[in-house]
Structure 1
Amino acid sequence: MTSRTGSAGGPGTPSGCLAMFPGQGSQRPGMAGHLLDTHPAARGLFARADEILDLPLSRICATGDAGELGRTEITQPAIATTGLAVWEVLREAGYRPAATAGHSLGEYPALVAAGVLSLESALQLVRLRGRLMGEVAREVPGAMAAVLGLPADKVLAACEGAEGAGLVQVANYNEPLQTVISGHAGAVQEAGRAALDAGADRVVPLDVSAPFHCSLMRAVEEEFTEALAARPFADPVLPVISSVTGTYVRSGEEARELLRRQLTGPVRWVEVLRTSERHPVNAYTEIGPGRVLSGLARRTLGDVRVRSTGDARRLSAFVGALEPGRQPAPAAS
C-alpha cells in the first residue's frame, strides 16, 4: 500500500493518499506547542502567519487558554495555520498526496496545499470569515447539534417538520449515521426531539458560537463575497475535493464560488470520502489538530488506512515513515 516513486507521492508516501484538513471544533490548548518546539518549517510558517494577520498566533496556539482559542475570529485562523504548519513539516519530509480536501474551514488550507490560494489570501479570508460568523452569533440566538444513529434523510425530515419553530437545516453530512443540524436555537431543539422520536440514538448540542452552514449566514454573504472577489485564485495543481459539492474543484474560479456557497450550504463530507474512493485513494492522512476526520473516514469507509498527525508522537511516527528506506509504521490514529 505504499509507493516509493511515482506521481502519487515521494519516498514513503502512502499510494493514493488523501490529505484531509480539519475544521472548527478540532482546536485545543497547546495544539501547536510541539510543532514550534521541534520543527523549523512549522516555526517559519507560524512566523509568516503572525506577520500576515498581525496576531500572535504562535503564542495562542502554543500557550493560549481555551477561552482565547475559542473565539471564532481566533479559532479559525488558528486551526488553519496549525494545519498548514503540519503540512509544511510533512511536505519537507517528502509527503506527496494524490488529492486534498478540507472539512468546512479546512477547505482553506486544502486550497493552499493545492496551489489555489496563497498563504496570505487564505489566512486573511479565514480571519474575516471568523469575524463575520462571530457577528451573526452575537445577533442571532442560533445553535447546532449532532444527530447520531439516524440516516440523513430522516434527519432532513425532522428539520422540515420543525420549521414552525424557526429555521433549522442540515449543516454537516459527516458520516452515514452522524448528521449535524443548524439554525435558530428553538428550531434546533425541536428538530432534535423529532429525530429522537424517529429513532436517533442521541442528539448532542455542539459547543459552537454560531449557527454555521445554514441560511442564517446569508446576512454576511455579501461582504464575504466582495472579499473573495478581491483575492487571486489559481487553478489547482493538486486535485481538490470540495466539501461543498463532494466532487473535484475544476478551476480557481470554481473554488472562489464554492467558498461563497460554503457559508450557507452543508458540508458534504460523506460525499468527499465516497469520491476519494473512486480516485482511487486507499490511505487517509488528517493534517492538523485532532482526530475527528480520522474517525469519520473509518466509520464511513470501513477498513481503510488512516493516520492522524495531531500530536508529537503521531507526527513523528509519520515523518519517520516517510524517510527513504524506512518501512511505514502501522497506522496510528
Structure 2
Amino acid sequence: MSLGYLFGGGVGSEPRGVALYHGFVGVRNLYEQVAEWTGLSVGQILEEDLPEDVEIRQSVGTVRESVHAIAVHDVLAEHGLRPSVLGGLSLGGMSAACLAGAISRRALFEMLAYARNTPGQPVGTPEQGLALAFEPATDNTGHHRGAGRPGVYLAGTFGLTTDGATRILMLSGEKAALDALATELPQGSVIPMPGRSIAIHSPLRAGFRTFMAPYIDAMPFQDPGLPLISCLDRRVLVAAEEVRDMFHRNPTDPINLVHICEAMKDEGVRLGLVMGGSVPDGVLRFPFPVVHVDRPEHLDQVMTTVFELGIELAPGRSPR
C-alpha cells in the first residue's frame, strides 16, 4: 500500500470548492445530488453565508466541508488516482469512512443534515469555544496547556510544526475559561479561535451525542472496503460496528492527527494527499511526503509527485 488520503476536520464559514464546482461536470453533479439529499440549495452548500443559529450553522457547515472533500476525491479519481488507505480528523473521519465503503454518500449527508435539528443549549449555559495551544516539543510531561483547569479540555493533538520545535494542540470548553487561560499563560501559548462557539470533542457535546445516537444506531454501516484509520484511537477500523462506534464517539472524544499519520506509515503509505482546505499547508510535520489538494491548480503537483515517487495505485472503487 502506498497512497494515503487524509481528510481534515473543522467547519469553516468561508466558501469551499467553488473552483472545483465550476471546473468539473462531475463535481456539479455531486453538489446537485447532495442538495437533493439534504434539502439545501447548491448555493447554500457552496458559497452562501451560513445560518446564524449555532446548530443549523454547524450542520450546513459540515455538509459544505464534506462535499468539498469528496469532490476532491472524485476529481482525483477522474485522473486515475485511488487511495490505498484513508483516514481523517473528526468530520474528515466520517468522510473517509464513506469513501472507504463503510457508509453510503446519501446516508452520510442525510445524517449531517439531520444534525440541524439538535436542540439548542438551555438558557444560562456558559458560552463555549475553542483555542489552539502551542507548547515546546521538548515538553514531555504529558500535560497539555490548561490541564486540570475547570472548563478546559484537550480536544485535539495535531503534532509538531515543520521545524520540529513546537507541538500544536486544540483546547475545547467554556469560552471564559479558555480566554482566562490565554491571558494568564505567556503570550501566544493559547490563542482562542474566533467564531467557534461549539466545544467540539469535549464532554460539553454530550447532549449532541445523545441526540444523534438513535439516528446513528439506525444507519446502515458496512465493513470498510479499504483500510480506514481512526482519529480517536491508533488503529485500523475493519468492522462496521467499529465505524459506527467512531461516529458515536466523535462529538465528545479528542482527536489525534499523530495517530492517523503513524498508522498510515505502518500501512506503507509513501505519499499522503491532504484533501480539502481544512489542514493548513506547510505548518505540520508528516512522516511521509504530502501534497495538499484543494483547488484545480493543485492537480499538476499531485500528478508530478505521484510520478516521481513511482506510486502504485490501488484498484478503484465506484462511488456509492
Shift in alpha-carbon separation, 1:191–1:81, aligned structure 2, 3 A: same
Find 1:252's aligned residue among 240, 244, 259: 240
User: How much has 1:295 moved relative to structure 2?
Assistant: 4.0
Shift in alpha-carbon separation, 1:144–1:269, aligned structure 2, 3 A: same
Could you tell me whether the CA contact under 8 Å between 2:128 and 2:198 is conserved in 1?
yes
* Deviation by residue 1:21-79 (Cα, 9 ceiling, x = unmatched): 122245632x22211211121111111100000101x3235442477799212111100
Give SS of 1:160's match. coil
Counterpart of 1:180? 170
| In 1: Cα distance, 2:233 partner to 2:240 partner | 15
Using the size of structure 2 for normalisation, the TM-score is: 0.83
Counterpart of 1:205? 192
| In 2: Cα distance, 1:66 partner to 1:193 partner | 30
Counterpart of 2:135? 149
User: How much has 1:112 moved relative to structure 2?
Assistant: 1.0
Shift in alpha-carbon separation, 1:286–1:81, aligned structure 2, 3 A: same
Give SS of 2:9's match. coil
User: How much has 1:92 moved relative to structure 2?
Assistant: 2.5
Find 1:97's aligned residue among 83, 90, 95: 83
| In 2: Cα distance, 1:157 partner to 1:179 partner | 8
Shift in alpha-carbon separation, 1:89–1:75, aligned structure 2, 3 A: same
User: How much has 1:135 moved relative to structure 2?
Assistant: 3.0
Number of residue-to-residue matches in the alignment? 298
The alignment's C-alpha RMSD in Å is: 2.9
Could you tell me whether the CA contact under 8 Å between 2:231 and 2:255 is conserved in 1?
yes
| In 1: Cα distance, 2:229 partner to 2:121 partner | 28
Could you tell me whether the CA contact under 8 Å between 2:13 and 2:49 is conserved in 1?
no
User: How much has 1:187 moved relative to structure 2?
Assistant: 2.3
* Equivalent residue letter for 1:174: F
Give SS of 2:120's match. helix
Give SS of 1:308's match. strand
| In 1: Cα distance, 2:252 partner to 2:34 partner | 27
Shift in alpha-carbon separation, 1:157–1:55, aligned structure 2, 3 A: closer
| In 1: Cα distance, 2:13 partner to 2:175 partner | 24
| In 2: Cα distance, 1:125 partner to 1:66 partner | 18
User: How much has 1:259 moved relative to structure 2?
Assistant: 1.2
Shift in alpha-carbon separation, 1:155–1:184, aligned structure 2, 3 A: farther
Shift in alpha-carbon separation, 1:105–1:171, aligned structure 2, 3 A: same
User: How much has 1:210 moved relative to structure 2?
Assistant: 0.6
* Deviation by residue 1:241-270 (Cα, 9 ceiling, x = unmatched): 011113111211111011111111000111
* Equivalent residue letter for 1:173: T
Counterpart of 1:5? none
Using the size of structure 1 for normalisation, the TM-score is: 0.80
| In 1: Cα distance, 2:114 partner to 2:10 partner | 15
| In 2: Cα distance, 1:328 partner to 1:43 partner | 31
Counterpart of 2:296? 312
Give SS of 2:291's match. strand
| In 1: Cα distance, 2:210 partner to 2:143 partner | 27
Asked if residue 73 in structure 1 is aligned to residue 59 in structure 2, the reply is yes
Could you tell me whether the CA contact under 8 Å between 1:148 and 1:179 is conserved in 2?
yes
| In 2: Cα distance, 1:321 partner to 1:158 partner | 41
